[in-house]
């Protein structure tokens, strides 16, 4: 445990007191000797007394100062005891990145009492940590999904939070990501009721370490090998339990040749090139002993065939991917785990193992299977690429088996379906987080530029009429600036940082609002069908953003149907776009078995087309930013990413799949959006107010004095001109410190503060907190390119308002007028 040492200041020695008295006496004696008068003697003694009193006062102040200082020091021992956690490595650093405190788990994991930024992570991990630290100092918290050690054998996730009374410390929480191994929990299965069932069927199991020591065994194996059914086999050498005769038949050493011969099957559990390479070489093996006389009452040639049903029952129950082939290399049997691993679940096995791999690996696979089938009993493994996933090599283990009738080769493969899914999700989350951070950082600067461009265009349009020669050019500049602002909103949408204004609504109302637009977008060849369930629950979402979701999905469906028609060469094709709403209860969700979606009531939007479906290789990529299957120049790849971001920010879920036709082929694509049902009461609908921005701005004519705080000169200049033109008195400040000084001086009273959020030195939120201590009721209008919801979560203060960037001259005038009107 690392904790900062406290160094209380001890009591001062009496040296100052002694020196003071000595000096006073020396002065008095010198005066008496020089002058020799009684008055002077009195004055000298008086001076000495004053010096003694001043010295005593100084000593008292010096003694009390350390105690006061000591009382303000943090008690790091209490903090260290509070953060003890066996599953989390926790460290605390100060502003200078110095380690002030860490728990025992942090020390045990990293074996170093250093700052987290100095830990031995890979280069990209260090860069991610430094970026996250900067984000935490700025925003209050940050996450790093994946950190790999320099050796690559350990992986961690990291969460950073800013803490402390002055928010001058960072709390680092490391969590180790442990990958599940294929043999985890197998010991308990072998030694539990499952092992007892196998023993009664004549099948004995032993889990054997690489050094040959038994780690677990069935009770029947223990009884036949040692005469006791307890755990006496654990810790013994497996080879000492068996003996072989001159015909290579295997017997239990305790029973000798009087016992029944055994068939030994060696199943390697993890492979040398499995994902956890550092542990694979130390992985145990599963030893399977099959009694050759089971089911026939005596040995003979048919004994192996009699054991096959029991063997298949065992292989079916094991969580490992296992299959059997005959001497010619044909598949005899495969369990469900094997079918899942090779992505053949529901389709059945092909004839040969070589049919599972890509063309380049077929010959090597066939030769290896035949060699293990006809050669001496041995085991090994080989790396191949499955035809269902040619990008990621997998390792297949092979073992020659004898005495099992037609079975000659045992194939094993680790079912990595869940691991692949998690890996894809982590990769997708990492991409989304990286691009989201990029979009969030770029959006602030880009929105500042767009705010200035749009603002100056508005100011120029005030001096030009539609008949002027420059009017159309200015309108083009403004229109293209708005297009750029729309692109920025799309970037923020898929990164879930856009400003949402959620309300409680009914999903069919949103569908009806865009139905007329969709009918025009679809054209004459596409039939547009809308179906609604009854008694749909209300949802809480931004109606404009939901309309964008529906339009984006519908436009994608239209393009897919047109592309499918062009591909098939049909001239008189007809398509159908179906929009449907459904009611899904929590019970239905539990039946679906979707782990990532909580069991709750949902209102579902389904968008289905007849465009031939989504290729299977694209299903896992369609929500990735900038991924598109359209021709170059015809798509940005942000449509579905934007949809994904809006749905997730609305606490919903979206899934994509293919709808099968009568012949089993993909007939079209289906997107299903799940939005949680709002449990509160439905709000009373407000009366529609038909007011333009100019009208709302002109309603307020009382003027006012504003403090404008903005670090970007161009934005500050255009906002100042717009507000002054609207009749306000404007005082400007270039950063938060200058704005706070204008308030703290108290020379001027302001009616409203208009401030940027992200500024150097002191940002807008920090300035707002400081101003509220002086002016608790002064309204503040924040302007930012970041999401309003994020801002409100970070700043929980009353009378705070928000206007997103970029904004026009009319929009900022209208917003300022609206805020001032609310104060009156």
The residue assigned the tokens 């000591």 is 70
Structural tokens at position 591: 């039946």
DSSP state of 433: H
3-state secondary structure of 134: helix
Angle of helix 15-35 versus helix 38-72 axis, rounded to 10 = 170
Structural tokens at position 404: 């099992």
Check if the beta carbon of residue 320 is closer than 8 Å to that of residue 414. yes
DSSP state of 357: B
pLDDT along the chain (824 residues), means of 10: 49 49 56 52 56 58 46 65 82 88 86 81 86 89 86 83 85 80 74 82 84 86 78 82 78 76 80 44 79 47 51 75 86 86 82 89 89 76 84 83 75 71 67 66 74 86 80 84 72 57 86 86 88 90 86 88 83 87 91 84 92 79 68 60 82 88 76 89 49 49 82 89 90 90 82 87 86 87 70 68 85 90 79
3-state secondary structure of 679: coil
What contacts 577, CB < 8 A, 6 or more positions away?
Answer: 518, 522, 526, 527, 528, 529, 554, 557, 558, 561, 607, 608, 609
Q: Find residue 810's DSSP bridge partners.
A: none
Cα separation, 768 vs 775, whole angstroms: 10
Cα separation, 772 vs 162, whole angstroms: 22
The residue assigned the tokens 């500024």 is 759
284: alpha, beta or left? (left if phi > 0; alpha if psi -120 to 50): beta
Check if the beta carbon of residue 230 is closer than 8 Å to that of residue 240. no
Cα separation, 677 vs 602, whole angstroms: 5
Cα separation, 753 vs 37, whole angstroms: 74
Cα separation, 138 vs 131, whole angstroms: 11
Cα separation, 642 vs 545, whole angstroms: 10
Among candidates 562, 520, 515, 510, which has minimal Cα distance to 541? 510
Q: How crowded is the C-beta side of 25, counted as CA atoms within 13 Å?
A: 6
Cα separation, 694 vs 33, whole angstroms: 94
Which helix (H) or strand (E) is 94 found in, with range?
A: strand 89-94
* Confidence at residue 671, expressed as pLDDT on a 0 to 100 scale: 92
- Alpha helices, DSSP H, located in 140-238: 186-191, 193-200, 219-226
**Cα–Cα distances in Å, from 110 out to 59, 146, 770?**
47, 16, 40
Check if the beta carbon of residue 717 is closer than 8 Å to that of residue 691. no
Q: How crowded is the C-beta side of 693, counted as CA atoms within 13 Å?
A: 11
DSSP state of 86: S
In what side-by-side order are the strands of the sheet with 705-709? Answer: 729-733, 705-709, 752-756, 780-784, 800-804
Among candidates 467, 554, 471, 469, which has minimal Cα distance to 510? 554
Give the length of the chain: 824
* Confidence at residue 277, expressed as pLDDT on a 0 to 100 scale: 41
Cα separation, 234 vs 188, whole angstroms: 13
Among candidates 624, 525, 516, 635, which has minimal Cα distance to 579? 516
- Alpha helices, DSSP H, located in 318-405: 336-341, 359-374
Q: DSSP assignment of 719-760, as one string?
A: HHHHHHHTT-EEEEESSHHHHHHHHHT-SS--SEEEEESS-S
Q: Find residue 398's DSSP bridge partners.
A: 380, 411
Q: Alpha-carbon Rg of the chain, whole angstroms?
A: 39
Cα separation, 823 vs 172, whole angstroms: 43
Check if the beta carbon of residue 574 is closer than 8 Å to that of residue 536. no
Pairing of strands 752-756, 780-784: parallel
* Confidence at residue 97, expressed as pLDDT on a 0 to 100 scale: 86
């Amino acid at each position: 445990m690392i904790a900062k040492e406290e160094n209380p200041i001890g009591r001062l020695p009496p040296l100052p007191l002694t020196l003071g008295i000595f000096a006073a006496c020396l002065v008095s004696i010198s005066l008496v000797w020089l002058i020799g008068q009684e008055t002077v003697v009195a004055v000298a003694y008086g001076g000495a007394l004053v010096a003694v009193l001043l010295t005593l006062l100084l000593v008292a102040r010096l003694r009390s100062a350390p105690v006061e200082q000591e009382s303000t020091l943090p008690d790091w021992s209490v903090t260290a005891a509070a953060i003890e956690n066996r599953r989390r490595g926790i460290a605390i650093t100060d502003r200078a990145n110095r380690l002030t405190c860490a728990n025992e788990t942090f020390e045990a994991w990293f074996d170093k009492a250093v700052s987290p930024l100095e830990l031995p992570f890979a280069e990209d991990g260090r860069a991610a940590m430094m970026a996250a630290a900067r984000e935490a100092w700025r925003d209050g918290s940050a996450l790093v999904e994946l950190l790999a050690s320099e050796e690559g054998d350990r992986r961690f996730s990291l969460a950073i939070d800013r803490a402390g009374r002055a928010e001058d410390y960072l709390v680092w929480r490391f969590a180790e990501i442990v990958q599940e191994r294929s043999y985890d929990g197998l010991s308990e299965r072998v030694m539990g009721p499952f092992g007892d069932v196998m023993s009664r069927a004549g099948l004995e199991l032993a889990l054997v370490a690489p050094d040959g020591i038994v780690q677990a065994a069935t009770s029947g194996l223990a009884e036949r090998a040692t005469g006791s059914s307890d755990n006496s086999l654990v810790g013994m050498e497996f080879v000492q339990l068996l003996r072989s005769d001159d015909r290579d038949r295997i017997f239990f050493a305790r029973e000798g040749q009087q016992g029944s011969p055994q068939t030994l099957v060696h199943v390697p559990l993890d492979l040398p090139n499995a994902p956890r390479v550092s542990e694979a070489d130390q992985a145990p093996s599963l030893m399977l002993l099959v009694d050759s006389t089971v089911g026939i009452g005596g040995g003979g040639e048919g004994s192996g065939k009699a054991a096959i049903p029991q063997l298949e029952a065992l292989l079916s129950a094991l969580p490992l991917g296992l299959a059997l082939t005959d001497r010619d290399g044909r598949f005899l049997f495969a369990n469900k785990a094997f079918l899942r691993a090779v992505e053949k679940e529901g389709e059945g096995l092909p004839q040969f193992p070589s049919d599972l791999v890509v063309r380049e690996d077929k010959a090597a696979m066939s030769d290896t299977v035949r060699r293990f089938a006809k050669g001496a009993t041995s085991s090994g493994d080989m790396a191949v690429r499955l035809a269902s996933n040619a990008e990621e090599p997998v390792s297949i283990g092979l073992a020659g088996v004898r005495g099992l009738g037609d079975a000659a080769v045992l194939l094993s493969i680790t079912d990595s379906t869940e691991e692949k899914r998690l890996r894809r999700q982590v990769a997708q989350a990492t991409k989304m987080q990286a691009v989201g951070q990029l979009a969030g950082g770029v959006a602030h600067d880009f929105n500042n530029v767009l705010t200035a461009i749009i603002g100056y265009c508005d100011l120029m349009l005030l001096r030009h009429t539609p008949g002027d020669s420059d009017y159309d050019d200015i309108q083009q500049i403004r229109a293209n600036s708005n297009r750029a602002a729309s692109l920025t909103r799309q970037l923020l949408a898929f990164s879930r940082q856009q400003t949402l204004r959620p309300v409680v609504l009914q999903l069919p109302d949103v569908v009806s609002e865009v139905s007329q637009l969709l009918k025009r977008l679809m054209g004459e060849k596409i039939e547009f069908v809308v179906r609604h369930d009854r008694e749909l629950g209300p949802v809480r979402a931004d109606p404009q953003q939901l309309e964008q979701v529906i339009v984006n999905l519908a436009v994608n469906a239209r393009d897919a149907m047109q592309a499918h028609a062009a591909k098939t060469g049909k001239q008189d094709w007809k398509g159908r776009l179906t929009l449907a709403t459904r009611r899904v209860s929590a019970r239905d969700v539990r039946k679906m078995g979707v782990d990532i979606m909580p069991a709750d009531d949902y209102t579902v939007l389904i968008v289905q087309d007849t465009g031939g479906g989504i290729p299977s290789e694209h299903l896992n990529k369609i929500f990735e930013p900038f991924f598109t299957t359209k021709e170059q120049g015809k798509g940005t790849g942000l449509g579905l990413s934007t949809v994904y971001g809006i749905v997730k920010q609305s606490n919903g879920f979206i899934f994509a799949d293919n709808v099968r036709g009568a012949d089993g082929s993909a007939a079209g694509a289906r997107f299903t959006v799940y939005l949680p049902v709002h449990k509160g009461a439905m709000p009373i609908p407000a009366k529609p107010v038909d007011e333009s921005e100019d009208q709302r701005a002109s309603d307020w004519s009382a003027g006012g004095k504003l403090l404008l705080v903005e670090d970007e000169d161009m934005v500050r200049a255009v906002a100042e001109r717009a507000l002054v033109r609207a009749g306000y008195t404007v005082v400007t400040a270039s950063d938060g410190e200058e704005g706070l000084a204008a308030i703290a001086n108290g020379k001027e009273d302001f009616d409203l503060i208009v401030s940027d959020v992200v500024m150097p030195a002191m940002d807008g939120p920090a300035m707002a907190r400081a101003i509220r201590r002086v002016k608790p009721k002064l309204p503040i209008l924040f302007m930012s390119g970041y999401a309003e919801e994020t801002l409100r979560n970070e700043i929980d203060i009353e009378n705070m308002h928000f206007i997103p960037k970029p904004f026009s001259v009319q929009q900022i005038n209208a917003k300022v007028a609206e805020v001032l009107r609310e104060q009156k």
